[in-house]
Structure 1
């Protein structure tokens, strides 16, 4: 795993794009603060840049660096949650402008997966995470279901967990309003 992390770090630091395992499904990722890298992810996915992508962090303590004000309910949800959950926060900041939704929100998930946590911790910045598929195609449940063409479009394909055939599923998605109101978008 360390060799994979070192190679992925090198690619992320140079503005490249990786294909990597997350705490849910395999993802396409890049430096979430690099607008050119984010643009390339949209191009690889053949996705309109107005369609949201989320970012992964390894620690909720970093949220204040990327969100103006973390609503109190967010801390309660993070603490109580026992499965992957993406929270959509108002007031995104310090991220690539083409990653922030037109309403100023950003989806953030705190990853509990060992590889991703170590990668983000060493990178010291959040990374983009979007399903490893061409926009409109089904999301792959494991590495073996990822389109071969897509694998050739990224700069590095992580080897860790390629032989894991367990079917993964996407995270729940909850949108949090400025006043702490919540809206469940996906269970």
Structure 2
């Protein structure tokens, strides 16, 4: 498996190749550092959950550069398109999932969280990869984020880090329900 542990420069194709090969990587997002792997590799997704010490019933976010990359996981693509029509803004959307979406992604729910990223470094990676990855913040569950997450002792357990700039949001993305726009995390009346 390709490892990027000490990658000194920005290289979207190399990061995409490592994801394609099954790597679990740390990477920048719009607001915080994330960890993830290919969404269609349930074995590796389970490892992300274990590494994060995340409760399996929480599910994970699917990160993609285009709606087509999440088509196998989303029940109704038009629901995602309706949600995207509410932009501008950086949001993760909860949509109804297809029966093909494994419980390891959804936490056993009939929904899945999806974000079509506008973050340029990750868009380049996902465009090269051609499929979605799972995404969760790069901190242990229940602990806050750190500015330089890749220096934490547990971070060395990843297959590598794609070091590129964060998107400048400064916090995790707000999460909204696609069918009614309600905020589940963040938003105008909730703490981020």
TM-score, with structure 1 as normaliser: 0.83
Partner of 2:160: 156
**2:95 aligned with 1:89, yes or no?**
yes
**2:34 aligned with 1:27, yes or no?**
yes
Partner of 1:183: 182
**2:175 aligned with 1:173, yes or no?**
yes
Aligned partner of residue 85 in structure 2, secondary structure = helix
8 Å CA contact 2:64, 2:133 repeated in 1: yes
8 Å CA contact 2:138, 2:149 repeated in 1: no
Moved over 4 A (4+): 93-96, 164-167
Deviations 1:80-102 (A, max 9, x none): 32221011111235544411231
State the Cα RMSD in Å.
2.5
8 Å CA contact 1:55, 1:128 repeated in 2: yes
Aligned partner of residue 50 in structure 1, secondary structure = helix
8 Å CA contact 2:74, 2:97 repeated in 1: yes
Moved more, 25-34 or 45-54: 45-54
Partner of 2:14: 7
Distance 1:68 1:14, change over 3 A: same
| Separation in structure 1 between the aligned mates of residue 139 and residue 161 of structure 2, nearest angstrom | 14
**Which of 95, 98, 108 is 2:114 aligned to?**
108
| Separation in structure 1 between the aligned mates of residue 9 and residue 128 of structure 2, nearest angstrom | 11
1:107, CA displacement in angstroms? 0.1
Query: What stretches of structure 1 of length at least 5 have no aligned partner?
Result: none
Distance 1:63 1:46, change over 3 A: closer
Deviations 1:51-79 (A, max 9, x none): 2210111023444332121355x424313
Partner of 2:25: 18
1:182, CA displacement in angstroms? 4.1
TM-score, with structure 2 as normaliser: 0.81
